[in-house]
A and B are shown apart, each in its own frame.
Chain A
Amino acid sequence: MRSLPLRRAVDALVTIACGAMVLLALVPLGSLLWLVVSKGAPGLSLSFFGALPAPVGEPGGGVGNAILGTATMVGLACLVGLPVGIGAGVFLAEKGDGPFGRAVRFTAEVFSGIPSIVIGIVAYGLVVLPMRRFSALAGALALALLMIPTLARTTEELVRLVPGTLREASLALGIAQWKTSLRVVLRTAAGGILTAALLAIARAAGETAPLLFTALNNQYWNFRPDQPTASLTVQIFNYAISPYEDWHQKAWTAALVLLLLVGVLNVGARLALRRSTAGGRA
């Protein structure tokens, strides 16, 4: 039997080791955030948000078209992704216990593990090939497909969390099943679902891989969904892998813009969650 002081020492050592692991995990995070802010901030200006990309060597220029492109594609993706994702989640929560429901749940889990680049190829086959061109629609489809499985699973969990007694109370008042589901159960889960939706949107805004060969890129403003479209993420990628120093600088600034966007969405999601669990509006 080892002596107690030795065992205590080992215990302390392990604690320190665990702490070291935490630091190890936090260092890249700290470094990344610090650099994005410190390298990106100097390039921030109103024109950066609004202008088109400038050619190499020329001062100025911005990512206006990329921001618009990301917003457009994410917006289009929401039109399909949000209803189908949330709807599937409600289906799983209300009718998910039979064999059909189990099949759907298993499929949704499988679906959520598919790498985003594979989804991109699917969108390529479904939209780019028939249309014979790269387009914002194709990019939006890829993003929608990526949103659906996670939204479905989170929505299912949230709806299942609503206590059964609320449903019973509503039914006992003579309110029909579908109204109970929609206006009582879903309303109770709405805060959480909003959170899940905001997080899904944040994820979609940060996607790059599937956009590379669906929406491709575009150096100009594009307002047509059937044309190639710039996006913040693809623009960052292109700037970063280029050999030009001033484009590297732009990459950091664009990354800062992207992080701000994703950050705002995440904070919004957290706020929605806090409000929903605060017990309703006064």
Chain B
Amino acid sequence: MTPKMRVEGLQAWFHDRHVLRDVSIDVAPLSVLAVIGPSGCGKSTFLRCLNRMHELVPGARSQGRVDLDGENLYGRGVDPVRLRRRVGMVFQRPNPFPTMSIKDNVAAGLSLNGWEGDLDEIVERCLVQAALWDEVKDRLRHSALSLSGGQQQRLCIARALAVEPEVLLMDEPASALDPIATAKIEELMHELKERYTIVIVTHNMQQAARVSDTTAFFYMGELVEAGATETIFTNPREQRTEDYVTGKFG
């Protein structure tokens, strides 16, 4: 099976700080890859290299190859703006647009790009996919800020889904949420992976074990080990991996 995304020799810097060293990994289609590791190991940077958000930070550089369906994202002539419609992202803290209603938030990615079509149908579909429809269907015109934190995060997921990405990147999506909201998000990921390829960064190992098919362990900018989640957590190859998943550090 061809991988949905293939990373080869990815390196990244912030000014002179070398934050990612020679990372190579495949992401299988319609699966969940969890990226784990201690704080500062480069997992968020790695994620942001997958949709070319890393380069937006002043002083950030990257090198290497990231293929989406065989095409290099960093190739000449590739428009990062358009790329980001195929590789979407959900952030750590929910960030709905404060001046827009729930409906307008979901549709934002389409309407701001000049989409002319029936938004209502798309909005409903995405809210259903994000498991939020039942809770908000009667108040679509209310401000997005009237929702709870967990609901706002699901709104952000719906918003990301509206542009019909193929890959969904999630940067610690539940870390700012309470346990019940977290459980809802994790349940959601099980459903979403039937349609989308998901890469999730998490500092919560149990969460990684619960939701992912494959897991990649990063340490100090290096990809130490990647493989089937069960293997990584029960029988890892590397000592460092074993030390981390058993809680000896991190």
Spell out A's residues near B (CB within 8 Å). Answer: 97, 163, 165-166, 168-177, 179, 183-184, 187-188, 190, 279-282
Contacts and interface: CB of A to CB of B under 8 A. Distances in A.
A282 B163 contact: no
18 contacts: A97-B58, A165-B91, A168-B91, A169-B97, A169-B159, A170-B97, A173-B112, A173-B160, A174-B85, A175-B109, A184-B112, A279-B146, A280-B98, A280-B99, A280-B100, A280-B145, A282-B141, A282-B142
Nearest to A278: B143
A172 B89 contact: yes
Contacts of A282: 101, 141-143, 146
Interface in B108-136: 108-109, 112-113
Contact of B84 (A171, A183, A184): A171
Nearest to A177: B81
Which DSSP category, helix, strand, loop or mixed, fits chain B's interface? loop
B37 to A, nearest CB: 22
Give the bracket for the number of chain B residues in contact with chain A.
Answer: 35 or more
A187 B56 CA distance: 21
A177 B143 CA distance: 24
A273 to B, nearest CB: 14
A170 B95 CA distance: 10
Nearest to A176: B81
B4 interface: no
A183 B114 CA distance: 12
Nearest to A182: B112
A163 B156 CA distance: 16
B82 interface: yes
B136 to A, nearest CB: 13
Contacts of A168: 53, 56, 89, 91, 95
Contacts of A163: 95
A174 B84 contact: yes
Given A169-B97, A188-B99, A280-B101, A174 B142 contact: no
